[in-house]
Amino acid sequence: MNKLIEDLNWRYATKSFDSSKSIDDETLNTLKEAVRLTASSYGLQPYEVFIIQDKDLRQKLKSASFNQSQITDSDYLVVFAVNTVIDEAYLDRYIKNIAETREIDVEDLSGMRNAIAGTVLQFPQDQKLNWAKQQAYIGLGNLLASAARLRVDACPMEGFDNKQYDEILNLEAKNLTSAVIATIGYRSEDDSLQNAKKVRKSNEEFFNHL
């Protein structure tokens, strides 16, 4: 079997973690870099990622996550929080970063800047937030695939109180709001789901070749 497909078959939404096992620093840094390298619309990366290990903080967040055990039993809780203010200043910082990274003049990027200003910056606020959340979900997908490649277990989660998370993590002060979360660590031997067969649509039902 192809190694990538083997990795993706290995992964599942882990519900029970072994709290005695920890992700080593090298593996964690690899996961972080994989998420940082995730594609995003225009490359704007309209979100930030919080990697939370503090037990007291995670206990508070567990209460805001319908008391799901993964929040505290996993090694880390990962929170994807999207930017709530994507404006001219945000765009200018991005353009400056491109210019400095690629050692070119800001003026040479005027066409790109104008294109973004004429599209994303014109979105109504609700559409802009939905767009940003879509970018964050791409990051989540990359986290799951990368974790599988490294044989790190993960569970993507939408079952949490967004407003409580924002308050606990003081996200509003950072012009952020929580979008989606994931827990990462190592599966418990008692988690029966690890042996369950994957249930997916057949190729014939899922793929359309035109």
194 CA to centre of own chain: 23
Q: What confidence tens digit (pLDDT) does each residue in 41-65 have?
A: 999 999 999 999 999 999 999 999 9
Contact 75, 150 (CB under 8 A): no
Residues in a beta bridge with 17: 187
Longest dimension (CA), the chain: 59
Residue 1: pLDDT band (50, 70, 90) is: low
Domain architecture of the chain: domains with CATH: 3-187 (3.40.109.10)
Q: What confidence tens digit (pLDDT) does each residue in 166-208 have?
A: 999 999 999 999 999 999 999 999 998 999 999 999 999 999 9
In the chain, count H helices and then E strands: 9, 4
Q: Mean pLDDT in the chain?
A: 97
Residue 29 has pLDDT above 80, yes or no: yes
- The pLDDT, as a whole number, for residue 85 is 98
Contact 179, 47 (CB under 8 A): yes
Burial 16-30 (b: 16+ CB within 10 A, else e): bbbeeeebeeebbeb
The tokens of 32 are what?
A: 């972080």
The one-letter code for the residue type at 44 is L
Determine how many CB atoms are found less than 10 A away from the CB of residue 10: 13
Phi, psi (degrees; rounded to nearest 5) at 7: -60, -45
- The DSSP H or E segment spanning 48 is strand 47-52
The tokens of 88 are what?
A: 């001219």
